[in-house]
Amino acid sequence: MTDTLPEPADVIPHRAPFLFLDGVATLVPGESATGWWTPSADLAFFAGHFPARPTLPGVLMAEAIAQLGAYAVLHGDSFAGRLPLFGGLDNARFRRQVVPGERLDLAIEVTRMSARAGKATGVASVDGDIACKCDLMFVAVDA
């Protein structure tokens, strides 16, 4: 675990409007991390998903988990200076609606790493209630 962690934009290549990680609370480089994202009501997709009941799309919850995973693996020796890309998404389950302004707490654990790829499992929750669980596969390419 690290006391002072860099901001997500200082580690991962994502930028607004596609940066879905506000901060990182804990990190074991290359192994695990916890963090959070609070989607604001002014995000454009809420206007159409859904106009009468704004709901965070499930795939964006999975993307937020993946961004936290990228943060964790980019701190490890294996992928330093590389770009981790989605290779697959398995066992995704969406269990709770997330609305604008709710803090999405994120956790990721890297379960397997090789020189070019890895697997991880992650969870997104609101106030302790699981909103999304999924298994991720990623590949590393030259940045």
Q: Out of 14, 49, 82, 103, which one is annotated catalytic?
A: 49
Say how far apart CA 138 and CA 9 lie, in whole Å: 19
Say how far apart CA 141 and CA 143 lie, in whole Å: 6
CB-based contacts of 104: which residues, under 8 Å, 6+ apart?
A: 36, 37, 38, 39, 56, 61, 64, 98, 124, 125, 126, 131
Closest C-alpha among 29, 9, 100 to residue 60: 100
Any catalytic annotation for residue 49? yes
Closest C-alpha among 41, 77, 66, 49 to residue 121: 66
Say how far apart CA 61 and CA 90 lie, in whole Å: 14
Residues serving a catalytic function are 49
